[in-house]
Structure 1
Amino acid sequence: MNRNGMISIIWCTVGAFIFSIAINTFSIPNSLGEGGVTGIGLMIYYLTNLPLAISTFAINGVVLVIGYRYLDKKTMGLTVFAVIMTSVFLQLTNGWTYVMDLPILAPLCSGVLMGLAVGIIMQAGGSTAGTDIIALIMNKYLGWSTSIALVLLNVLIVAPSVFIIGLENVLLTIVHLYIQTKVLSFILEGFNPKKSVLIISNRHQEIADEINRVIGRGITLFSAQGYYRKDDKQVIMVVINRQQIMAINKLITEIDSNAFVVFSEVQNVVGEGFSYIVSDEEYQTKINEFIESNE
């Protein structure tokens, strides 16, 4: 086994361990639900007391058989390994419980840990099977964000649990899923959040010079035309980090208080002057490697 394969196995093990802590320590003691196969397993556990390690392993086995055609050999191996290790750790950490005095803290803790665990496993090249595989397939063929596809699938699974754990706990579970999705998105897609700034001003040259001098970011100028007056304009575009928002806002206002400024969210930035972990292109490549094309 090469070095990269060993690193992937280590990270899958770490992710599986964190996953089991999230479930056994925070979800089960505080009667929270979950999405995906784990959510189904939790409903079975609450109704029959069947150990979660057994039910999730059995259901994931069926899902893996169904999804086998979509997985390459390496990913299948890592996914099977992650599923086995998750079941093992769920059994080993059984009894590591922590009941929160404030109910809202339980979904916060479980959501962060669950998102972190799934993100680590997926970054390593595997998955926790279940709806992860379905979400990746949806990303491949429908173009949906993996994290958004996961949360939609999870909500469909969580809804029936209102009859088992009650409405209040279902609402807390939704908070858990929201936090989980945000953490997962951050790990897979959002290590490099930036702001794109568009500036329209008659004093564009002065503003561009000051941005270059004070902030030191690359600037793009392009021509535009106003619709009403048909007059030509120069538009400044610059990408900054969030800590530079106030500085650039103050700078623009001091030069031209009538400037038209638009701030937009930027998911990832690739290029000189910016570092990044996973760009959209890289993640799409990971997905393409993860799911074999049947074309």
Structure 2
Amino acid sequence: MEANKKEKIESFNKRKLSFNKNWTVQTLINAIVITIGSFIFAVGVNTFMIGGNLAEGGVIGISIILFYAFGWSTALTNLIINSIILAIGFKFLSRRAMYYTIFSIPMTSLMLWFTETWQMQFENVIVNMIFGGMFIGIGIGLIFRVGATTAGTTILARIANKYLDVNVSYALLFFDLLVVLSGLTVIPLERVLLTIIALYVATKVMDFIVEGMNPKKAVTIISNKPELLAEHVTKDIKRGVTIMHGRGYYTQENKDVLYIVINKNQLGRLKRVIKKNDESAFVVVHDVNDVLGNFII
């Protein structure tokens, strides 16, 4: 009895140790990524955006406006405003995202403080606009990629989605544009318009970082020759195929539905395979934001 009990305790401790070790290593990696992302973000804000007398969206945009108007530190105002928003809307984040966000907010503010004197104003302000957008996009993208957020308007957008039934993306765009347009109180219209372009650049770069260099596509195929198509996809494109059973509502006929996840650069080959073997196949291509699983795509 005692031996059996001792064996169970040892087994449990081994599993617990293994879990904690993996969790700690991954958490450390994520913390490093957030730190690097915060630094790059801060360089984008201080070196290029403020250096070019430009504004920005979100909470950091409010901080920049306050800096232009009153000379208040962007690091301090960013920390205070984001902390208040996080305290109000923390329940709109998952537990994992909340923990990482609690880390990312002071880290971002620390990096803003560290780089606040690194301002560079180029003769052509477009250089500030482009590189400011790029650096901010890379920084936020790295933070988002590990599951953290920068709080701010992200949480406000989720609150608007819950209580006003507004799309999160539209709500986020609305809050960011509202902040940018508020910049008209402290900077010329030309700089505000350039800031909007910088926001677009940042969004595109952020999407690239979050989705990766090789975005995926999911393809749904309804065909009268499912086995033939599955065979060619497996053999010619070297991709796995899932066959699901479906039924047409109008005809009441049973049909097999093929589901495939591929790299974007393989989509053309897949279309040629489908056209060659079944020209009447019904094909739907979906964008995929993320792929998880014990396989390589």
TM over 0.5: yes
Distance 1:209 1:142, change over 3 A: farther
Identical-pair percentage: 38
- Per-residue deviation, residues 126-172 of structure 1 (Å, max 9, x unmatched): 55443344456668999988776544432232222234333333333
Q: Which amino acid in 2 is paired with 1:225?
A: G
Is this contact kept in 2: 1:147–1:184, CA < 8 A?
no
CA contact (8 A) 2:223 2:256 kept: yes
Q: Aligned-pair distance for 1:58?
A: 4.3
CA apart distance, 1:213: 1.3
Instruction: Establish whether residue 222 from structure 1 lines up as the match of residue 248 from structure 2.
Output: no
- Residue 187 (structure 1) shift: 4.8
Residue identity matched to 2:215: P
1:198 and 2:225 aligned: no
CA deviation map 1:200-248 (0-9, x unaligned):
4444433222112101222225343373x66654443322211111111
Aligned with 1:254 (options 276, 279, 288): 276
3-state SS, counterpart of residue 239 of structure 2: coil
8 Å CA contact retained: 2:214, 2:264: no
Q: Which residue of 1 aligns with 2:37?
A: 15
- 1:122 to 1:141, Cα distance in 2 relative to 1, 3 A: farther
Q: 1:34 aligns with which of 56, 71, 74?
A: 56
C-alpha change, 1:271 and 1:192, in structure 2 (3 Å) is: farther
Give the number of equivalent residue pairs: 274
1:97/1:170 Cα in 2 relative to 1: closer, same or farther (>3 Å)?
Answer: same
Structure 1 match to 2:7: none
> Does the 8 Å CA contact 2:89/2:159 hold for their aligned counterparts?
no
| CA gap 1:207/1:106 in 2 versus in 1, 3 angstroms | same
Q: For 1:86, which of 105, 108, 112 is the aligned residue?
A: 108
Q: Note if contact 1:26-1:106 (Cα within 8 Å) is conserved in structure 2.
A: yes
- Does structure 1 retain, via aligned residues, the 8 Å contact 2:48–2:129? yes
Query: Which of 93, 105, 119 matches 1:97?
Result: 119
Which residue is 1:240 aligned to? 262
Q: Give the direction of change, closer, same or farther, for the CA distance of 1:60–1:211 in structure 2 (3 Å limit).
A: closer
What residue in structure 2 maps to residue 180 of structure 1?
202
1:45 pairs, out of 50, 64, 67, with: 67
Residue 269 of structure 1: SS of its match in structure 2? coil
1:167 aligns with 2:167: no
**Structure 2 CA distance, aligned partners of 1:134 and 1:141?**
11
Q: Distance in 1 between matches of 2:260 and 2:83?
A: 49
CA contact (8 A) 1:148 1:181 kept: no
Residue 115 of structure 1 corresponds to which residue in structure 2?
137
- The DSSP-based 3-state class of the residue aligned with 1:177 is helix
Match of 2:46 among 24, 38, 47: 24
**Most deviating of 182-191 and 17-26:** 182-191
The change in CA–CA distance for 1:153 and 1:258 in structure 2 (over 3 A counts) is same
Aligned-pair Cα RMSD in Å: 4.1
Larger radius of gyration: 2
Q: TM-score, length-normalised on structure 2?
A: 0.70
Shift of 1:250: 1.6
Residue type matched to 1:159 in 2? L
1:131 aligns with 2:153: yes
Greater relative contact order (CA < 8 Å, ≥ 6 in sequence): 1
In the alignment, the residues of structure 1 paired with residue 99 and residue 64 of structure 2 have an alpha-carbon distance, to the nearest angstrom, of 25
Distance 1:180 1:268, change over 3 A: same
Offset of 1:176 from its aligned partner? 2.6
Matched letter for residue 227 of structure 2? Q
* Partners of 1:39 and 1:233 in 2: CA distance: 53
The aligned residue for residue 21 of structure 2 is none
Distance 2:214 2:103 in 1: 30
How far has the Cα of 1:78 moved from its partner? 6.0
- Given that 1:18 and 1:114 are in contact with CA atoms closer than 8 Å, whether structure 2 keeps it comes out as yes
